[in-house]
Amino acid sequence: MDLKLKVWRQSGPDEAGGFVAYDAKEISPDMSFLEMLDVVNERILEEGGDPIAFDHDCREGICGSCGMMIDGVPHGPKSMTTVCQLHMRSFRDGDQLTLEPWRASSFPVLKDLYVDRTPFDRIIAAGGYISVRTGSADEANAEPIRKKDADAAFDAAACIGCGACVAACPNASAMLFTSAKVAHLAHLPQGQTERYTRVLDMVETHDTEGFGNCTNHGACQNACPKGISVDYIAQLNRDLFRATVTTAADPVGS
Amino acid sequence: MELNARIPSGPVEKKWENHRFEMKLVNPANKRKYDVIVVGTGLAGASAAATMGELGYNVHAFTHHESPRRAHSIAAQGGINAAKNYQNDGDSVYRLFYDTVKGGDFRSREANVYRLAEVSLNIIDQAVAQGVPFAREYGGKLANRSFGGAQVSRTFYARGQTGQQLLLGAYQALERQVRAGTVTMHTSKEMLDVVVIDGVAKGIVTRDLVTGVIERHAADAVVLATGGYSNVFFLSTNAQKCNVTATWRAHRRGAGFANPCFTQIHPTCIPPSGEYQSKLTLMSESLRNDGRIWVPKDPEDKRKGNDIPEDARDYYLERLYPSFGNLTPRDIASRRAKEMVDAGHGVGPMENGVFLDFKHAIERLGKDRVSERYGNLFEMYERITGEDPYDRPMRIFPAPHYTMGGLWVDYDLMTTVPGLFAAGEANFSDHGANRLGASALMQGLADGYFVVPLTIGNYLATVTPGSADTDHAAFADVEKDVKQRQSRLLDVDGTRSAASFHRELGRIMWENCGMVRTAEGLRSALQRIPELREEFWRDVRVPGTGEGLNPSLEQAGRVADFLEFAEVMCWDALTRDESCGAHYRPEHVTEEGEARRDDENFAHSAVWEFMGVGEEPRRHTEPLEFPNVPPSQRSYK
């Protein structure tokens, strides 16, 4: 199949960018979307040009490195699928596709489709963990955890940190990302001790990193390749409310 | 090159305990005076950096990814072994030790393996305490599954995303130390060389992948946790950025490289669908618990899988290995699949796979139970192939997956360069000639949480803290080397992409140093690799400049290192004139067609010394002894 691509090219964080048109010719429907871009890049290189930069690594939908807007949709048209797992059989011969980087001021463009998502690490560093020194853990089976709770924790922990939720959100909010970690740890008995400091600290960092507030559009959930639910944002808000109202009497934040 | 493994005295069960008592300690108040560099933030690197930060060392952690959480450990699916014996099925530390030594076909160091089995217990405790959501039974206790190469059920798992959940646990522990100020995180920085001063590792030189700036970083010790080199085959299950650069550069600076030819081919991957293929996707071999592997008996039988009746199917693993059946170790399952395809029994459009069938499992367990166990793997398969494995058998074929070889390390995980440590897949230590399933996660976390943070103290206690200085002439020399090499890459201005050379190298390696290695094939590879390398340096085209983000430049540097490394891999395969584990020389097989070891001449680790690019490397040996697990011919019949 043959496709036409309109790709956002930007040589550096402080440079102006613009769209450039490319032909993607003789593409196999069994190729992944990134393999299609590999072929386009190989041709750009043969012609003496500068290949399109995009981040990627595992190509099996788990590392969270890849991601771009395809016709305004994060990770493209197939639901629950990262762009590396999207295959060309999802498109038709002759399609015209517009490729853009994640759109959020907290994720500055480094080059072309490549953005900086390090604010996510800082949100985790603010409290997205259980404080347990190596070697100080109890016997693993000492405390039973209901299967239901373990499964719920897992569902939230499936987030791959790709940033599609932020790119989809009209407010460029990272609440889905933040709430997934809050919910993961809040579902487990081990996560209770720091439950309320965690939510306060993570939300504070979320805000100082410049992400917008959640206004319940739900676009994040639709864009998420791992099916992370907006219910976690509701859970986060409940914990945040409780943490905030109890803080005055018994300060818990750090 | 001196190879002193420094194995502690005493019976194997007591060695680690004795050693912990005998090791020199660094006073808690002095720890913060020591700078430690950790390169790589996968399971081994992240857990080592976090734990050393907790202990009070001043840690600098480096990753070439934008975030530590992107490391390739994240992609491990199946599980992690631990000798908890929660199933009451006869497991013990000793049995895990025994299985690992035997599974490695008697080419690993007993003392290290015993320690690995011992600390496996602590890993599960640690991970649960961190909030890793392992699978649980309805009573709330941890669940287990069985895995290839073992007859007990000792594998802990988190659906098909065990690596992801364990890495997020280690990553969160790491970020906690970042917040505490004990770890400084350096993201998007690729280590391009190690700095050795008077024979001792004192730092690294990196390139900032975003700004392009070449930087010097000094430390009192350096830990490499940079993973394996399966991408030497171009097509592998490894992520695109996995590379040999850090360990190869360390090797060039004096670190012995052990058993580079011990590479593992994973039996359950999705077969390639065309020339453009950029990587192969693995599906957890836990699938072999319930899936049955077969091919049509008649090579001419071109019917669809479901249309082939039972009596026309050959469940060849069940036939050949009645007691282990579909759960034979990886090397055997892989080789047998290749034999079937080579003999014309291959299935699928390119006739390059064998069937893995869940029909009987669905009949026995119901679709829901099967979906609960393997749902995400089935989805992944369908997404890639467009075929639904609930309705028709999957097609699988082996692919390069893991490398048992790596930097030689002593019992303390220190390489032949004092002050330079290697952890996780980057070292060679525990798996011998073949790794058992669910043991990579175990080893990465054992090294990172429980071994290196302790043993590094044994070294640091002998070093004056802060003795390394980036103003030293050695740093300037290494930085100059790195810059010159980068300029050379950019200046070739040829016609071919680095990827095209990588693909060609991969083909040479897969054909001659892959699942089956003959002396003749290896000699031809040793002729072709230098030719290809020469062509690379004459005709590669690296667009752009060294300033700013340039993925083509990053890739070219990694391919250039693979082009040097591939040779020592072939030398190792050629000179190891025996078959063992995953290293299969058809000149040495038993009457049953299994690998035939030669313990008289090859009961050793081969450790290679770098003699110059294109020069024949020098082979040294570390003899191996097996007082506890007497070597026997592996039999999984």
Model confidence pLDDT, tens digit, residues A87-104: 999 999 999 999 999 989
Residues A171, A69 share a domain: no
Is B191's pLDDT higher than 60? Answer: yes
Q: Is residue A252 part of a domain?
A: no
Is A1's pLDDT higher than 50? Answer: yes
Out of A64, A153, A185, name the one closest to residue B70 (CB).
A64
Q: Is residue A13 part of a domain?
A: yes
Q: Which residue has the tokens 């631990």?
A: B82
B102-134 confidence digits (pLDDT tens) = 989 999 999 999 999 999 999 999 999 999 999
Q: A58 to chain B: nearest residue by CA?
A: B239
Nearest alpha-carbon partner for A218 in A206, A229, A205, A202: A229
B352 lies within 8 A of chain A by CB: no
Residues A160, A80 share a domain: no
Residues A83, A16 share a domain: yes
Task: Evaluate whether B595 touches B105 at the Cβ level (below 8 Å).
Answer: yes
Q: Cβ contacts (< 8 Å) between A42 and chain B: which residues?
A: 497, 499-500
Residues A129, A99 share a domain: no
pLDDT band at A248 (very low <50, low <70, confident <90, very high): low
Q: How far is CA B286 from the centre of its chain?
A: 18
Residues A193, A209 share a domain: yes
Q: Cβ contacts (< 8 Å) between A65 and chain B: which residues?
A: 65-66, 70
B124 lies within 8 A of chain A by CB: yes
Whole-number Cα distances in Å, B286 to B144, B283, B354: 11, 8, 17
- In a mutagenesis test of the A interface, which of B43, B52, B124, B132 is the best target, namely the one with the most A β-carbons within 10 Å? B132
Task: Evaluate whether B487 touches B85 at the Cβ level (below 8 Å).
Answer: no
Q: Which of B239-248, B377-386, B486-495, B496-505 has the weakest average pLDDT?
A: B377-386
Residues carrying CATH 1.20.58.100, chain B: 473-602
Whole-number Cα distances in Å, B324 to B100, B178, B333, B636: 16, 46, 11, 6
Residues A238, A155 share a domain: yes
Q: Cβ contacts (< 8 Å) between B66 and chain A: which residues?
A: 55, 65, 116-118
Residues A220, A154 share a domain: yes
DSSP code, position A147: H
Q: What is this model's ipTM? A: 0.97
**Do residue A141 and residue B552 have CB atoms under 8 angstroms apart?**
no
Angstrom distance (rounded) from CA B613 to CA A167: 47
The amino acid occupying position A48 is G
For residue B523 the two structure tokens come to 């000699």
Out of A51, A138, A150, name the one closest to residue B136 (CB).
A150
Angstrom distance (rounded) from CA B411 to CA B111: 8
Task: Evaluate whether B51 touches B453 at the Cβ level (below 8 Å).
Answer: yes
User: What's the CATH code, domain B473-602?
Assistant: 1.20.58.100
**Do residue B278 and residue A38 have CB atoms under 8 angstroms apart?**
yes
Residues carrying CATH 3.90.700.10, chain B: 265-401
Angstrom distance (rounded) from CA B528 to CA B507: 11
Nearest alpha-carbon partner for B269 in B233, B311, B305, B245: B233
Count CA within 13 A, CB hemisphere, residue A241: 6
A142-174 confidence digits (pLDDT tens) = 999 999 999 999 999 999 999 999 999 999 999
**Do residue A63 and residue B75 have CB atoms under 8 angstroms apart?**
yes
Whole-number Cα distances in Å, A247 to A239, A252, B215: 12, 6, 45
Is A251's pLDDT higher than 60? Answer: no
B437-496 confidence digits (pLDDT tens) = 899 999 999 999 999 999 999 999 999 998 889 999 999 999 999 999 999 999 999 999
Q: Is residue A164 part of a domain?
A: yes
CA dihedral A115, B283, B338, B401 (to 10 degrees): 50
Question: Residue B418: what are its φ and ψ, rounded to 5°?
Answer: -55, 140
Our count of domains for chain A comes to 2
Is B148's pLDDT higher than 90? Answer: no
Residues A30, A151 share a domain: no
pLDDT at position A252 is: 52
Which is it for strands B58-62 and B183-186: parallel, antiparallel or unpaired? parallel
Q: Which residues of B are the active-site residues?
A: 330
For residue A21 the two structure tokens come to 């048109």
Burial classification of residue A32, based on how many CB atoms lie within 10 Å of its CB (0-12 exposed, 13-18 middle, 19 or more buried): buried
Nearest alpha-carbon partner for B475 in B77, B203, B244: B203
pLDDT at position A172 is: 98
Is A254's pLDDT higher than 50? Answer: no
**Do residue B544 and residue A50 have CB atoms under 8 angstroms apart?**
yes
pLDDT band at A250 (very low <50, low <70, confident <90, very high): low
- Closest-CA distance, B104 to chain A, in angstroms, reads 27
- Closest-CA distance, B529 to chain A, in angstroms, reads 23
Angstrom distance (rounded) from CA A149 to CA A127: 21
A32-70 confidence digits (pLDDT tens) = 999 999 999 999 999 999 999 999 999 999 999 999 999
Exposure pattern of B291-302 as b/e (b: 16+ CB <10 Å)? bbbbbbeeeeee
For residue A146 the two structure tokens come to 């209901």
Residues A163, A65 share a domain: no
Residues A106, A15 share a domain: yes
pLDDT at position B275 is: 83
User: What's the CATH code, domain B265-401?
Assistant: 3.90.700.10
Q: Is residue A157 part of a domain?
A: yes
Angstrom distance (rounded) from CA A74 to CA B543: 29
**Do residue A154 and residue B175 have CB atoms under 8 angstroms apart?**
no
Exposure pattern of B551-578 as b/e (b: 16+ CB <10 Å)? bbbbbbbbbbbbbbbbbbbbbbbbebeb
- In a mutagenesis test of the B interface, which of A58, A113, A209 is the best target, namely the one with the most B β-carbons within 10 Å? A58
Q: Which residue has the tokens 């940033």?
A: A163
Crossing angle of helices A175-186 and A231-247, in 10° steps, is 80
Task: Evaluate whether B608 touches B571 at the Cβ level (below 8 Å).
Answer: yes
Question: Residue A18: what are its φ and ψ, rounded to 5°?
Answer: -170, 170
Angstrom distance (rounded) from CA A210 to CA B334: 51
Is B170's pLDDT higher than 90? Answer: yes
B37-52 confidence digits (pLDDT tens) = 999 999 999 999 999 9
The Cβ of residue B30 has, within 10 Å, a number of other Cβ atoms equal to 14
Angstrom distance (rounded) from CA A35 to CA A38: 5
Angstrom distance (rounded) from CA B103 to CA B324: 13
The pTM of this model reads 0.96
| DSSP for B121-169, written as a single string | HHHHHHHHHHT----B-TTSSBP-B--TT-SS--EE-STT-HHHHHHHH
Q: Which of A243-252, B522-531, B624-633 has the weakest average pLDDT?
A: A243-252
Strand partners, B204: B194, B217
Sheet-wide strand order for B604-609:
B406-407, B257-258, B604-609, B618-623
Q: Is residue A166 part of a domain?
A: yes
Task: Evaluate whether B288 touches B327 at the Cβ level (below 8 Å).
Answer: yes
CA dihedral B459, B464, B466, B469 (to 10 degrees): -90
The residue among A61, A79, A111 that closes a domain is A111
The amino acid occupying position B25 is L
Q: Is residue A181 part of a domain?
A: yes
Residues B539-547 have a mean pLDDT of: 96
Residues 6+ apart with CB under 8 A from A251: none
Angstrom distance (rounded) from CA B393 to CA B389: 6
pLDDT at position B376 is: 80
Is B324's pLDDT higher than 90? Answer: no
Angstrom distance (rounded) from CA B166 to CA B172: 10
Task: Evaluate whether B334 touches B373 at the Cβ level (below 8 Å).
Answer: no
What rounded mean pLDDT belongs to chain B? Answer: 95
Q: Which residue has the tokens 């890639």?
A: B384
Residues A193, A163 share a domain: yes
Angstrom distance (rounded) from CA A214 to CA B173: 28
pLDDT at position B380 is: 85
The residue among A65, A96, A111 that closes a domain is A111
Indicate the helix (H) or strand (E) that contains B619. Answer: strand B618-623
∠ CA A189-A190-A191, rounded to 5°? 90
Angstrom distance (rounded) from CA B488 to CA B508: 25
Angstrom distance (rounded) from CA B121 to CA B96: 11
Nearest alpha-carbon partner for B403 in B590, B591, B566: B566
For residue B190 the two structure tokens come to 């690729």
Residue A184: CATH number of its domain: 1.10.1060.10
Nearest alpha-carbon partner for A200 in A126, A119, A130, A132: A126
Residues A152, A49 share a domain: no
Indicate the helix (H) or strand (E) that contains B103. Answer: helix B93-103
pLDDT at position B429 is: 82
Q: Domain span at residue A66?
A: 3-111
Angstrom distance (rounded) from CA B584 to CA B522: 12
Nearest alpha-carbon partner for A117 in A74, A70, A71: A74
Residues B530-547 have a mean pLDDT of: 97
The residue among A96, A111, A126 that closes a domain is A111
Q: Is residue A253 part of a domain?
A: no
Q: How far is CA A222 from the centre of its chain?
A: 12
pLDDT band at B80 (very low <50, low <70, confident <90, very high): very high
Angstrom distance (rounded) from CA B8 to CA B26: 20
- In a mutagenesis test of the A interface, which of B383, B496, B497 is the best target, namely the one with the most A β-carbons within 10 Å? B383
Angstrom distance (rounded) from CA B166 to CA B133: 9
Q: Which residue has the tokens 């924790």?
A: A153
Strand partners, B357: B292
Q: Which residue has the tokens 């990302």?
A: A177
Q: Is residue A178 part of a domain?
A: yes
B72 lies within 8 A of chain A by CB: yes
Residues A9-15 have a mean pLDDT of: 94
- Closest-CA distance, B449 to chain A, in angstroms, reads 7
Angstrom distance (rounded) from CA B626 to CA B107: 10
Burial classification of residue B360, based on how many CB atoms lie within 10 Å of its CB (0-12 exposed, 13-18 middle, 19 or more buried): exposed
Residue A85: CATH number of its domain: 3.10.20.30
Residues B220-238 have a mean pLDDT of: 98
CA dihedral A59, A93, A52, A162 (to 10 degrees): -40
Nearest alpha-carbon partner for B547 in B486, B465, B614: B486
